[in-house]
Every structure is written in C-alpha cells, then in structure tokens.
Amino acid sequence: MTSRIPNAVDAEKSVLGAIFLDQQTAPNIFDEIRETDFYLNQHILIFQAMKDLFKERKSIDYTSVKSVLEHKSQLETVGGLLYLLELSEYTVSIDHLETYIEIVKDFSLKRDVIKVTQELATQGLTTDVNSAEYLDKVEQAILSLSQRRKVGQFTQLSEIVKSVSEKLHFLQNNKGEVTGLTTGYKTLDKFINGLQPEELIILAARPAVGKSALAMNIALNAAAKNKGGKAGVAIFSLEMSNDQLVSRMISNISNIENSKLRTGYLTATEWRNFEIFTERLNTYNIYFDDSSSSNINDIRAKCRRLAQEGKLDFIVIDYLQLISVDSNKSTNRQEAVSRISRELKQMAKELKVPILALSQLSRDVEKSDDKKPTLAHLRESGSIEQDADIVIFIHREDYYNQGAEGENSGQTEILVRKNRQGRIGDIKFIFTPQYSRFQEQSNLEEPSN
C-alpha cells in the first residue's frame, strides 16, 4: 500500500483563482489562510505576491502578480505567465469559496499533524529523554495543533478584569451618554443603553403590527446617527424585497406616502423631495440582502466579509422564522428555530456587533384579556427567550380594534420584557403607517442626584 502526502491542489487553485476572479474575496481569504497552508511551493509564492499587492492597496490581477514575481525573480519558479493565466481562468464562480478554503486548511492541518507526530516519534526513538519531559513535549505539540481548529480558548482573569475596568472608566467619563450605537430613540436608548456589541436583540410582534417598519427605522437611524453617518448596517430581508424596504426608507425621511411611491403619482414638490432624500440615502453604508433562501451559514459568511472590510456595525434580520435550515439536522421546526437563535447569538459574539432579529408571536397572545405579548408568546421556541439579551414587543390597540373609534390613533407601546443589562418597561410611540414611521412619545424621568 502506497502512502501519499495529503494535499488538495485543485482547491488551492480554486482559492487563488477566486482572488483573480473577484478581488473582494481577498480580505476573507487572507484572514483565513496562511502561505504555509498551500502544498505546492509555486502556490505559496503566488499567494505571497497577492498579499504584498493587497498590503500596498494595489489591484490584484495576473499582470500585477506577474510584475511582483518578476521583481522577486520567482516568475519562472511558479510556472511563468502561462500558469498565472491558467489560475486566473480556473475559477468560474466564488459560490463555493468557503468550501475551498476549508479544504485547503483541512489538508494543511493533516500535513502538520503527520509532520509533528513523525518528529515526536523520531525524538522518542533517537534521543535520551525521560518520559515526563517527552510527554510534556507531546502535549505542547498537540495543543499547538488543536488551537488551529475553530474552537474558543480560555481567557485569563487578569485580561477580563482589565476589560471590565476600561469599560467602567469609560462609563464614568460618559455619564448619561449611550455607550452603544444609538437607535435614534432617546428613551429606548436609555432602557437598553444603545445597541451593544455581541448582543442578540429580539423584536417580536403579530403580523402587520409594524415590526418590519420599526426595524427599518432603527436600521436607518443606526446608519445615519452613528460614526458620523458612516456606520455599516447589514439588512437581511427574507420576506420583503430590497425595493420595498428602500421605498419605505424613502417614505420615512421624505414625507412621501408609501402608496404614492407604489403608484408614481407624485407632485412636483414630492419629486423634489424624492431627489433630495434619495441623495442622502446614497451616503449611508447600508447593505441589503433579500435572498429568500438564505440560511444561517450564508448570512454568517456575508457578514464576515463585511466585518473583515470594516463595514459592519449592526445586523438586522427580518425575520428569524424564515431563515432556512438543513432539514437533516433538525427533526422539527421548534428544534430548527432553537438552533437558529443559538447560532445568531454566537454570530453576534464572533463578529462583536449587535444583531436585531425579528420574530413572530404565537396566536395565543390574542387570547389574553389585554392582548399584550409576554415572553411565553414567542413563537415555536423557548430558546429564543433564553438566547436573547433583549426582548422587545410591539403592542397596538388599533390592531385589535379595527373599525372602532380612534382606530387610526397610531398609539403604540414598545414593551421591553427582557434586558440582561438594563431596565424593563413600556415606552409610548406613535406609528404612522403611511410613512412607515415610528416616533417616540414618552421621556424617562431623569434620576435625581
């Protein structure tokens, strides 16, 4: 039986070809893969040339890579210009790039395991070392290899104390100020202290109550009112199209009714407003994805790419129950939703950004006397409550009193029912559906000194 050193040359070619095909993939690939992860030396040299160009903020194409390799006298070593042309045409799609990256990393780790174990075996056979020292070397080598896997590591207490101390000093120097991203709503910010990194926030309501509109308002405010209007917001809409969402945003800030944007019957003044406010929208860093078939892995991969480019500060997902899952891994819908909520929380921690995920409420809320939602009404999964740092409900009397006097009052309550780091309570809002606009009506009493 012949043995062969583990390698995946085709996957390596696909990774290098992906960079030639789409330079936007470069940050993610450089973050995931090291030069030594490649098996072929020529691929190592090409990869290093690409990284050199990336660090110098230069375009990465076969001409620029050729120039770098020529400067280093490495062009003939890698196979010349013909090999670069072959790589640039090798990958026809980046759809499976994450798979190619994982294959390259997996085979690299296997090779390193073989190399380390062979070296350990040689040391045990040829050197005069006692068993305790030898075992210690083995443990150190295996630990070093295991840390290359995607697993968390312990953090020393002193590092955590330092982090807590820095946060405390920051809070002391910024008393009364929101420390997270502002939602654009003063009272809501005081309840939750803004949108904090690593937090999973659940916004839940019955259908047609306005949860998508409120999420859109918060997303728009987050983009416009943080980091000098340059905060990066990713919106995943699994129910509404990108056009519908942006139309709502335009209506919200321009005072043009949604219905007019659907029909195109605008006055001259409204057309001027449309032009003015769409120009303003164009300055915001908001990224939309309305792929109705998105699963949690797709969402995570897209957010990682934005984060690696420094373009991600906040994520909105509309809505949780529509995220598709691998049916082979879940026996029923409740288990699937539980897994999604856990992975959303893990994603918030990994990317260190707040995630606002919308959720449906069960019909049971309509059976209660006051029709106000509680945590027990979260649909399909108790784990949503468990995984969330904050749970917010929307309650509108108008929704249950259609046809009654005052049905168009717009009176709305935002119910903060879970908050790990802040207060619980109700906040009064006015909802104007024709403009998809939520306006805060109540103010907190300032604490006495």
Looking up residue 262, the CATH number of its domain turns out to be: 3.40.50.300
Question: Residue 278's pLDDT is what?
Answer: 86
Does residue 319 sit in the same domain as residue 208? yes
Question: Residue 446's pLDDT is what?
Answer: 43
308 pLDDT more than 70:
yes
Which residues constitute the domain of residue 1?
1-149
Quick check: is 449 in a domain? no
Question: Residue 78's pLDDT is what?
Answer: 92
pLDDT tier at 173, thresholds 50, 70, 90: low
Quick check: is 294 in a domain? yes
Does residue 248 sit in the same domain as residue 351? yes
Does residue 261 sit in the same domain as residue 124? no
Residue type, 211: K
Q: How many domains does the chain have?
A: 2
Average per-residue pLDDT in the chain? 82
Quick check: is 155 in a domain? no
Does residue 89 sit in the same domain as residue 189? no
Quick check: is 315 in a domain? yes
Question: Residue 122's pLDDT is what?
Answer: 85
Domain with residue 83: its CATH number is 1.10.860.10
Does residue 80 sit in the same domain as residue 41? yes
Quick check: is 166 in a domain? no
Instruction: Among 11-15, 52-56, 64-68, 140-144, name the one with the lowest average pLDDT.
Output: 140-144
Question: Residue 404's pLDDT is what?
Answer: 47
Residue 420 CA to residue 315 CA, distance in Å, equals: 19
Choose among 301, 290, 310, 318: nearest CA to 218. 318
- Whose tokens are 């330079």? That residue is 23
Question: Residue 335's pLDDT is what?
Answer: 76
End-to-end CA gap in the chain: 81
pTM: 0.61
Look at 176 and 349; give whichever has higher pLDDT.
Answer: 349
100 pLDDT more than 80:
yes
Quick check: is 446 in a domain? no
Does residue 72 sit in the same domain as residue 179? no
Q: 418: which strand partners?
A: 391
Q: 393: which strand partners?
A: 204, 415
Quick check: is 187 in a domain? yes
Does residue 80 sit in the same domain as residue 188? no
Catalytic residues, by residue number, are 239
1 pLDDT more than 60:
no
Assign 3-state DSSP to the chain and report helix, strand, coil percentages, each to 5. 55, 15, 35
Does residue 65 sit in the same domain as residue 195? no
Report the pLDDT averaged over residues 63-92. 91
Instruction: Among 35-44, 132-141, 250-259, 407-416, name the one with the lowest average pLDDT.
Output: 132-141
131 pLDDT more than 80:
no
Report the pLDDT averaged over residues 416-443. 85
